[in-house]
Amino acid sequence: MKHEYSETFINSIIRMAWADDISFDKIKRDKGLSEAEVIKIMRGNLKSGSFKLWRKRVAGRSSKHEKRTKLLNQDVI
């Protein structure tokens, strides 16, 4: 099923995906998109180099995954 998103919606997803303090879980709650759907939007709307830079940046980043962030915070306490 292919979705047609408005330019405004796509831009808001891109801004949220680039932000370090906004997790994929928050994007799912706020916009209804899974991590895989966000990746597809990023791949389809960024230049190749920008997409690769973004993927490298978010790969393994605990702040983009709430479960990982919670586990890290529990270790600190």
The pTM assigned to this predicted structure is 0.77
Confidence of residue 66 (pLDDT cuts 50, 70, 90): low
What 10-15 contacts at long range (C-beta under 8 Å, 24+ apart), as own/partner pairs, is 10/41, 10/45, 13/38, 13/41, 13/42, 14/41, 14/42, 14/45, 14/46
Confidence of residue 75 (pLDDT cuts 50, 70, 90): low
Confidence of residue 63 (pLDDT cuts 50, 70, 90): confident
How confident is the prediction for the chain on average, in pLDDT? 85
- Going from N- to C-terminal start, the domains of the chain cover 7-76
pLDDT (mean) for 34-41: 96
pLDDT (mean) for 46-74: 77
